[in-house]
Amino acid sequence: MKEHVVVISGAGPTGLMLAGELALAGVDVAIVERRPNQELAGMRAGGLSARTLEVLDQRGIVDRFLAEGQIAQVTGFAVTRLDISDFPTRHNYGLALRQKHIERILTGWVEELAVPIYRGRDVTGFAEDDIGVTIELSGDASLRAGYLVGCDGGRSLIRKIAGIEFPGWDATTSNILAEAEMEEEPPLGVHRTALGMHAFGREEYEIRDGKVVFASEGPINVMVTEKTVGGTGEPTLSDLKEALIAACGTDYGIHSLKWISRFTDMSRQAAAYRKGRVFLAGDAAHVHSPVGGQGLNTGVQDAVNLGWKLAQVVKGMSPEALLDTYHAERHPVAARVLRATMAQVALQRTDDRTEALREMITELLGMEEPRKRIAAEMSGLAIHYDLGKGHPLLGRRMPDLELTTPDGPLRLFTLLHNARPALVNFGAPGSVDITPWSDRVTLVDARCDGAWELPALGIVSAPAAVLIRPDGYVAWVGDGTQDGLQDAMNSWFGPAG
């Protein structure tokens, strides 16, 4: 029986990101993935938010994604596009990039970090004891791990076996997704009918002047709302034809399916993200409508929140209690995502009363303050962990500042490439002492000219020092003294010694 410190079930974006985070921290981690390779059928997620791009930038790999994706102002709320080009971030945009490419790039990264992936295997069961978890795999194989993380999707077997409840709301709408040939070309783009939203496109496209321009040839990607909430199984070509005729009056002679699937607006969230030595992340912890494009992004950010905490515990640097902060911080974030997606689904209804409400919301989002507030939330830039009262930076993402240091200029995010915490001292050089934690925390004396600005909040006062967690969130803000620094160090990075 092979042993690893952490085993992850699922090699989707969440599982891959978590594996990379743990490997950077020097933790022995492996992934179990049912697919024999990383090929992904279906349209799935289609982009990365501004905050996820920042997270990838923090690890020094964002250029890999930017080289293949297309930059666009894709942040929005329901049918209203929200421009974030004036937001104070290097990535004041979204990136259009299919999930299959996101997974391929992340796979290349974790392979560079020598993470083993057991492909073509299903987790069939597991048993937890006082010192670890025994994981049963298909093919009469098994693994042993200190911790098991379920990144195995909305139907998570890990969640079910762990007995973690998954409360929420049943589906009110369902949609069929497919790729197929059509005898008659449909009107490409997104459309609304009395039944709901439907769209036609192609795999290859370009974004020109903010508009999607599809390739002129090739199979058609279809998304159509069903007349009634569909079943839980995979739809058929007959189901797709019926839905197209109901929505569009014709099925366009659709034939030769390449793939087909169904999604709904079911919204559920795990009651607990941790149970003993078992954790949930990504769709295993929360499912909702894909409207707004927050699912994949929320999962990747789950992984970055959990990774460094799990690494510190398994390396003996921090007590087990640190792991409880994963649920405490990430559960409220996903709860807001569920709220936002349910609101957007409601605004996509086509009756006259909803149309009136949508017009009012559109007017509100045309105003500066509502636009900035909602856009910051939808782009992930407004996330705020409750780390106590104090400076506005506390608990928020640290801006990627241009720093002047004794060793020359550098971008702040480069300090986080190795997934280690950092303390940046903007006061007199040598005025902050972290000697007991110097082997865990990178200390930099720096100067930063110019105003400090946060998305939606605006200008904030420049701090004397900041302690930044490996996930890029500020754990302590100095006012010229070291008051509270030792407590913050102990809480997040373990007792000195």
CATH number at residue 448: 3.40.30.120
Question: Region 302-318: what's the mean pLDDT?
Answer: 97
pLDDT for residue 184: 93
Kindly tell me if the per-residue pLDDT of 302 is higher than 70. yes
Helix (H, G, I), strand (E, B) or coil at 292: coil
Q: Are residues 274 and 257 in the same domain?
A: no
Kindly tell me if the per-residue pLDDT of 312 is higher than 70. yes
pLDDT digits (tens, 9 = 90+) for 65-84: 999 999 987 788 887 889 99
Cβ 334 vs Cβ 298: under 8 Å: yes
477 domain-assigned:
yes
486 domain-assigned:
yes
474 domain-assigned:
yes
pLDDT for residue 42: 60
Q: Are residues 256 and 275 in the same domain?
A: no
pLDDT for residue 216: 78
Q: Which is nearest to 293 in space by CA: 377, 173, 169, 229? A: 377
Q: Are residues 259 and 273 in the same domain?
A: no
- Residue 227's pLDDT band, with cuts at 50, 70 and 90, is confident
Q: Are residues 121 and 253 in the same domain?
A: no
- Residue 400's pLDDT band, with cuts at 50, 70 and 90, is very high
Query: Hey, what are 72's tokens?
Result: 């666009």
164 domain-assigned:
yes
Q: Are residues 143 and 198 in the same domain?
A: no
Question: Region 263-286: what's the mean pLDDT?
Answer: 97
Write the CB contacts of 438 (distance below 8 Å, at least 6 apart in sequence): none
297 domain-assigned:
yes
The C-alpha atoms of residue 201 and residue 252 are separated, in whole angstroms, by: 14
pLDDT for residue 497: 64
pLDDT digits (tens, 9 = 90+) for 286-300: 999 988 888 999 999
Q: Are residues 156 and 198 in the same domain?
A: no
Task: Give the end of a domain, one of 264, 295, 322.
Answer: 264
Q: Are residues 410 and 456 in the same domain?
A: yes
Question: Region 385-402: what's the mean pLDDT?
Answer: 96
Kindly tell me if the per-residue pLDDT of 232 is higher than 70. no
Q: Are residues 201 and 294 in the same domain?
A: no
| CATH code of 159's domain | 3.50.50.60
The C-alpha atoms of residue 186 and residue 248 are separated, in whole angstroms, by: 9
488 domain-assigned:
yes
In angstroms, the Cα distances linking 376 to 192, 266, 455 are 27, 25, 6
pLDDT for residue 430: 87
How many structural domains are present in the chain? 3
Q: Are residues 137 and 228 in the same domain?
A: no
393 domain-assigned:
no
Q: Which residue has the higher pLDDT, 139 or 328?
A: 328
Task: Give the end of a domain, one of 264, 292, 323.
Answer: 264
Q: Are residues 137 and 36 in the same domain?
A: yes
Helix axes 13-24, 295-314, angle to 10 degrees: 30
pLDDT digits (tens, 9 = 90+) for 4-62: 999 999 999 999 999 999 999 999 999 999 998 877 666 566 799 999 999 999 999 99
Query: Residue 128: which domain range?
Result: 2-168+268-378
pLDDT digits (tens, 9 = 90+) for 137-186: 998 899 999 999 999 999 999 999 999 999 999 999 999 999 999 999 99
Task: Give the end of a domain, one of 264, 285, 313.
Answer: 264
Write the CB contacts of 95 (distance below 8 Å, at least 6 apart in sequence): 47, 48, 53, 65, 66, 69, 70, 71, 72
Q: Residue 203: how many CA atoms within 13 Å on its side-chain side? A: 15
- Residue 350's pLDDT band, with cuts at 50, 70 and 90, is confident
Q: Are residues 416 and 282 in the same domain?
A: no
Question: Which amino acid, residue 315?
Answer: K
pLDDT for residue 43: 53
pLDDT for residue 44: 62
Q: Are residues 295 and 154 in the same domain?
A: yes
Kindly tell me if the per-residue pLDDT of 445 is higher than 70. yes
Q: DSSP letter string over 326-366?
A: HHHHHHHHHHHHHHHHHHHHHHT--SHHHHHHHHHHHHHHT
184 domain-assigned:
yes
| CATH code of 183's domain | 3.30.70.2450
